[in-house]
Each structure stands twice: as C-alpha cells, then as structure tokens.
Structure 1
C-alpha cells in the first residue's frame, strides 16, 4: 500500500519511518527538495500544493490515503479546499487543529472544559515562561525570573504571547487516536528538554508510574470528547508537587514520541490511523511488548558530543536509517565515514530501564572513543 505524506520536516520523518515499519510505500510531497525526510521516502513529489493543485492531484494518484505532516497553514488550507476532489481519506482534523494550534484558543478551551492548566501571569508569580501563541515546539520560548526580564522580552515581540507560571516538575506526553466516536488513549512517555526548551530525549518504560498513565488517559479522553477529535492528538503535561497540569495539546501527527511508543509497545500510530480510516480495524489493542526505550538526539563535532533538541535534525537533509549504529538499535542520521560534523537520532531498546541506559551509555562511550572526543555535553533547561 502506498501512502502520501505531505511535509518533509520533523513530522514527515516520523510518519515516513513508521509507514515503512508498517510495510507501506511512502510518497513524500513537499515544495522543497532539500527537506529532512527526503531520503526516507520511496517517491518524492516536489510540489507546492497552494500553487500547483493539479500537479498534486495527479501526483497522489495510487496512494491509499493522505497523511498531512506539516504545520504550514497555507498547505493545510489548500488540502482542506481540495478535500472534495481527493478520493483518498485525509487523516487530519481541521477543526480540532484550529483550537490546538493556538495556545490562546487552547487555554480558553481548557478553562471552559475544566482541564487542569497552568496559571497565567499576573495571577502566577515569577519565574514565568513566555511563548508565542501560534508556534509549536521551542521556537520563541523565553524564561523570565523577574519583572525587568519579562519587560525586556516583551519589548522584542510584535505579537501578544502566552505568559504562564514556569514549573520545574517532570514532563510527560500521551497520544490519543479518535475515530467515529471511539477514543483510544495510547502510551505515556517521559520528556527531557535542552537549554533551549527543545525536547532532546524521550523515554518509554512500563515501569513509569501507572497513576500518571491513568490520569493522562482520563484527560486525553475528556479533551478528545469535547473537541470532538477525529484523528490524532498529543497531550503534554507537567507534574508539579503531584498535580498534573496540561502544557499543550496538538491535534496533528507528532514527532519523537510515536517512534518511542512503537518500540516500547508495538503500537504503530501510522498503521493504527490507516487501519481505522480504511475500515481494517474497529478497536486498538496494544501488543504490550513491555520494552524500555530511549530516543535522543546527538550532535557530534571534532571535539565533543552534545545532546540537543530535535531542531538539529530539522537542519539537515541527507538522513538515512542505520541499524546497530555504534550499539544503538537504530539511528536516523546524516553520518558517513567522511563526515566531519554530524547529527543522529539514536534509538535504544532493551528489556528494562536499567538495561536501556547501559546500552545508551555504552554507545555514547563508543562514539567518544572512536572519534577521540574528550567532551560530552547534556544541557538542560535548568542549567
């Protein structure tokens, strides 16, 4: 079966990778050729959907379904306009996305539906986190520890941001898939962030707190019901002094966590969505592999290894998948024997959390030794 993936960025990497794990052929569509997911596709259609609608419609013939993997509003709007001309299912919920893509709209939704959210300034005390309403990820995120710092940040912005309490507890994520009124919360992952507030590491383990999993599944179910969701959404929360607070929701295919969940549980979110939309299944059952997984990004220079947020992967365009990469189960990387500076997403899979960390530490040590590096950096948002 062939699937058309619209967007070759970070989400496109995730969808293409999991589509191949499901045994699908991937037709990647993007207006630029030099995108990160380019080498992960079986076919590549260079096409600006906004300006080349007929080329797009002709190019996707033979695909069983369309998977949007972009946050480009113009491209998404063009896809929505073409909906009636496209015979294939488009696995996307435009209505839910309009709410989740705006942090301001999301917070209003949380308040209306009684979803536990973080306090906003000025009700919240310092330190504060300042972030744009429309962007996802870490772009444009700042921290302010006092009023002077807050005013300095605000003076540089041309749009009103979201300003809320900066919390320091652990962060977790959960995806939920909904289709025709049925809601399927999936698995919990633990998130680590770099100094730029960008997610650098995702961890899955069946040893994670079952109480957290139940709480997140309940919150996901409430939100999916109230939107109402028709597709996939991820929920990100932070736990502060035992209380779960919702950071954000995103009603689009996420990056990082789906591959982590796939290796930990056997749940392939691309395959799940395809099977639901094509009528192959009516329920989602977890194979429950019970594995522990670490998924993290490294940047290797001539002097050090640095653990970084996923932005480093979005900056390259010659990625490939390599198995047993310096001891990692798999890697998505632009490494070659002639490469100087290179990046990689490393995926480690083992039977327990202790074993997977041993594998991860062993692989990083192997890279340090092989390239005669003497520095290792793993910065956090708390540095």
Structure 2
C-alpha cells in the first residue's frame, strides 16, 4: 500500500515567553546610518510634471508644466532594536522597524522635499525556520498552539480545545515601506529582495518604456520617437511645434518636446527622458563587487496590494495612483575612500494622473527620482558637503527632566 507523502509545509517553532531575544532586520540591517552625496560624486535628479497655471482636471491634454533638477540628499536610517509583535492566533509575527527620514535640496541649497516613514522586515519566504539562514536567525515567525490556559482565559470551549493549531502564515513579501509626503500623500509599498549578485547591476535598457519620464498616454512612443540604441537627441525635437507631424501643435511631439529640450537646474536630455541613466553612468567606471536589489510596489498583479492615499486637493487635481521603488545596496571598492565601502542607489517612480489623455482617457505622468549615495562616515573629510537641516521649530521640552528609560518591549502570553 502506498504511503501518503509527508507535507512539505511544516509549522514554525513554538513561540515561548521571551522569544525572540532581538529583532530580525534581514537585508534592512545594511541600511542603518546616514547616506549623502559627496563632492565630485554623482548627484540626484528628479523629473516632475505638474498642472499648468489656469488649467483644471477637465482641460484638454497637453497643457502642463515640467520641471527637472539636480539635487543632493541626506537620507537617514535608524534601526529600532525592539521586535514589534503581531498576534494572529496560530502565528506570531515579530516585525523589525527601520525608521527613515530624508531631506532634499537643490543646487541653490533651497529645500525641495522632505519625508519620513518606516521600513519593516516582515519575514522570509522559507519555511520552516532555518537556523542557518541569515534572514531567519533569530526567527521572526512562530507557531502558537492553543493551551489549557488560553482555552480557559479566552473562552475557547466549545469552539477550540488545548493543543490545536491552524494553518501557518508565510509572508508573501519580505519588506514593506510606509511613508508620509507633506504634499498630501501617504504611501504603503511592499516587495522583496529580487537579486543578490556579484558585479555591477544592470539598471535598465536604453529607452525602456517602464522607466521613462514620458508614457504612451502622453502620445510619445519610444520605438518611433527616440533613436534605438542611441542617446542622440532626435531631429524632430529641433522643429517648431507647428511643424511636428501628425497634427502640428496638436501632436504628441509638439506637446512634449519641452521634456526633450529641457535644460535648467543641471537637468537636460537624456536624463529628463530616462532619469535612471544617471545611475548607470555613476557606476560605469566604479569597481562594484556585488549588490542586493530590493523592489517595492504599491501595485501587484495578484494578492495583497499596497496603497497610495491622497489628501482632497491632490486626489482631485494631481492624483498619485502608484509608486514603484528600486534600491540597490552595493559593495564598491574605492581606494580614495579607504577601500571597500557600501553604496546605495535608488529609483523611485510615482505615477500622477491629471487631465485628459491623447486617447480620451486620463494621462499618466511619471514623477521620477534617482540618486547615488554613500554613508557619511565613509566619506573623507575633504569630500563631505554641509549637512542638511530642516527649518523646524525647537521642541517644547521640560528642563532638567529625569533621564528617560526605554526597556526592551515585553509581550505577555495570550
């Protein structure tokens, strides 16, 4: 008689009081510290489309204001060394939190953006717990079987008795990021470590549509309107608006030639069309030994989604509908910086929707940010830039208060 196959899905180890001893940060443990630009190094760059003065959400497509700038940034990550418990009955999940705050200024040292939020390490896909895994030791997922005590104190009878255990939850995503943007948007994006490789990363192909600052809904198509395999600016960008094909001033090219011809604040073609070329160019002559790639998104084809939530005005006139984020954590050998150091590169694409599109639908406008950063402590003193400080009010604090004490977070048994 054929024996039944043993299930490949095993419960996690049983949770006990006092577990885990500390938080599991996974790949997020590589983020702790303050990351900045440096003298002589690459700068950040953003592309931002905005509704033009006098327009409204009912205005015919094409009237928009475009701005792009180089920038420098101060991005600080702080680990909170206390696991955060989520109780789910048959499972216990202990998140690890990494707070972040960023401030961005332009080439004139004017404040352009600030934001804060949190990254969470949610767990690993591998099950059961593997003591050899760098992302599961200490574990952050446990099973929690009912006991005589829990049945008695929680009124379990007659629904549940001692020694019972439901299905085990395996986190579909390893990482989440939540952030608060002062324009009036709150984001929640989730995802995973998608690559861990030796050598330098491949950022993108030239004119790869998903990474461009122009979308098909704007009437621009890379295969027709850009030169395949070449960064040379297309000849049509030199023509007056009225001479553009397929409609003159009413053509897609006439509306968006300003993005191709933009040349202000250190930003110009090809970076105004494909910003992540700045990332590729930054590492072209660097000795990148290896990298880890994290990819997060507010939209997923299946399963649990992330979210973008907007204040009323943003929702009505320039709605944020999606956010994509890629982060490369790289090991770079730089003799001038003392040898092997870590470097952080990111690309953030936020999709706006405002006004009619060329097909009668709503236009999708990609707002893109890219930057290359290194830890401030790794940068030689002669290459450091002045720190960025937000113009905030001094807090109202009690003078000569006793020193605060924050003990390890305690989680009592059910």
TM-score, normalised to structure 1's length? 0.27
Structure 1 or 2: more strand by fraction: 2
Of structures 1 and 2, the one with the larger relative CO (CA 8 A, separation 6+) is: 2
TM-score, normalised to structure 2's length? 0.25
